[in-house]
Amino acid sequence: MSKVRFLMVGGFLGAGKTTTLGRLASSYMAKGLQVGIVTNDQATDLVDTHTLRQQGFDVEEVPGACFCCKFDDLLSTIGRLEDGKTPDVILAEPVGSCTDLVATVVQPIKDLYADRFQTGPYSVILKPSHGLRILRNQEDAGFSPKAAYIFRKQLEEADAILLNRIDELSAEEADELSALVKEVNPDVPILRVSAKTGQGFDRLEELLAMEGNFGSRILDLDYDIYAEGEAELGWLNSSVTMTATQEFDLDVLLLEVVSSLRDRLGAENYETAHLKVIGLWEGFFGVANLVSRDSKPELSLPSNSQVREVDLIVNARVATDPALLETFVREAVQKAGDVRGAKVEFHQTQSFRPGRPVPTHRYATSA
């Protein structure tokens, strides 16, 4: 039996992992390959799972904690993707505040499941907005030194770094980022890509097809700093239904919710790592995002539709108190409902600070 290619793409919150996996999945499928995608989050109600499913991909999720702490769930979830099918490629997206994935996921897969998987390079996406501020050691990096520590560690363990959003960067910024990455991980290949436009993806696919002993940069990691850095984030997943008597523009609603949250959080100087809202109704869907305090809210996937009713899922990762974040999200969604004369029903809201990661396995040396 041929082995399944296991490709995990990491990177900080809002770096472009889901966009990258969607683009890779489309390209592999166009070449006749069967692809399964595994998403991951600290809670349930994942915008990413819905976003990728709505695009027609075969997706299963590992909710409740990161892959490293739910290693057995990761394997059983991949098993569900294999149910009645024989995927050629499994694409896995870890939680964006997670690191030490080589020691806790790649190494155990290589060692314990060598007969089942062939592991490709572990690539990590560099998010330019926070990357420039953190790697330059700017005072206004937006996150504390502990969160910055996680950001650097993510880059340090990568087999390849994807310098994303190249469509927006000047040549000088891209050169500076490449030089800063080299200080963290000197020998790593750096690919300039745009998950949005597809620029650089031919080279990325060539890289991901390479054979070799990947996943061997095992980190020297202080789990206290890691845990404290993660716990500085307020994490919120919320599901809501909005029902109006008159039709309204779904995309305008999605952008309005993200924009009003941006204003509210920005006024208090709370740094956003990623704020995303998906609206779903009868086969239509749209997604709006905010990836940092100083970026513009954007409609990453427009629905181009008018609706009277919509299911909304809000996922927010912001450096603030989770209870406050929940208040802000409730108020923003309620306000958007009120101006449309809509009934707003909150179904489930989980808001918390991520707990200390306790990996199922941790390989101190390369197997």
Across-strand partners of 123? 9, 160
Answer yes or no whether residue 17 interacts with Mg ion by CB under 5 A.
yes
Amino acid at 309: E
Count of alpha carbons within 13 angstroms of residue 203, beta-carbon side: 13
Q: Which is nearer to ligand GTP, 105 or 342 (CB)?
A: 105
CA distance 363 to 367: 8
Q: Which stretch binds ligand GTP (CB under 6 A): 12-20, 107-115, 208-216, 226-234?
A: 12-20
Considering only residues 36, 63, 87, 96, which one is a binding residue for ligand GTP as defined by CB under 6 A? 96
Across-strand partners of 317? 235, 274
CA distance 312 to 283: 13
Query: Token pair for residue 98?
Result: 């997670």
β-pairing, 272-281 with 306-318? antiparallel
CA distance 291 to 197: 18
Answer yes or no whether residue 202 interacts with ligand GTP by CB under 6 A.
no
Considering only residues 152, 196, 335, 361, which one is a binding residue for ligand GTP as defined by CB under 6 A? 196
Q: Which is nearer to Mg ion, 81 or 344 (CB)?
A: 81
Distances (CA, A) of 100 to 69, 137, 247, 349: 11, 22, 47, 29
Contact between 243 and 290 (Cβ < 8 Å): no
Answer yes or no whether residue 15 interacts with ligand GTP by CB under 6 A.
yes
Q: Which is nearer to ligand GTP, 118 or 199 (CB)?
A: 199
Residue 18, class by beta-carbon neighbours within 10 Å (0-12 exposed, 13-18 middle, 19+ buried)? buried
Considering only residues 4, 6, 8, 19, which one is a binding residue for ligand GTP as defined by CB under 6 A? 19
Answer yes or no whether residue 23 interacts with Mg ion by CB under 5 A.
no
Question: Least distance in Å: CB of 268 to Mg ion?
Answer: 25
- DSSP, collapsed to helix, strand or coil, labels residue 331 as helix
Contact pattern for ligand GTP over residues 232 through 271, marking x by CB under 6 A: ----------------------------------------
Answer yes or no whether residue 26 interacts with ligand GTP by CB under 6 A.
no
CA distance 177 to 70: 33
β-pairing, 284-290 with 272-281? antiparallel
Contact pattern for ligand GTP over residues 34 through 63, marking x by CB under 6 A: --------------x---------------
Answer yes or no whether residue 298 interacts with ligand GTP by CB under 6 A.
yes
Q: Tally Cβ neighbours within 10 Å of residue 138.
A: 11
Q: Which is nearer to ligand GTP, 169 or 344 (CB)?
A: 169
Considering CB distances under 5 to 8 angstroms, the limit depending on partner class, which of Mg ion, ligand GTP, none binds residue 168?
ligand GTP
Count of residues that bind ligand GTP according to CB under 6 A: 22
Could you tell me which of 261, 270, 318 has the C-alpha nearest to residue 96? 318
Question: Least distance in Å: CB of 329 to ligand GTP?
Answer: 15
Answer yes or no whether residue 48 interacts with Mg ion by CB under 5 A.
yes
Distances (CA, A) of 268 to 84, 140, 261, 272: 51, 14, 11, 11
**Across 267-352, where does the E strand assignment appear?**
272-281, 284-290, 298-301, 306-318, 343-352
Amino acid at 150: I
Considering CB distances under 5 to 8 angstroms, the limit depending on partner class, which of ligand GTP, Mg ion, none binds residue 34?
none
Answer yes or no whether residue 194 interacts with ligand GTP by CB under 6 A.
yes
Helices and strands: H and E segment counts in the chain: 12, 14
Answer yes or no whether residue 110 interacts with Mg ion by CB under 5 A.
no
Question: Least distance in Å: CB of 98 to ligand GTP?
Answer: 10
Answer yes or no whether residue 119 interacts with Mg ion by CB under 5 A.
no
Considering only residues 58, 88, 167, 173, which one is a binding residue for ligand GTP as defined by CB under 6 A? 167
Answer yes or no whether residue 192 interacts with ligand GTP by CB under 6 A.
no
Residues lying near ligand GTP in the complex (CB under 6 A) are found at 11, 13-19, 48, 96, 164-165, 167-168, 194-196, 274, 289, 291, 298, 300
Residues lying near Mg ion in the complex (CB under 5 A) are found at 17-18, 48
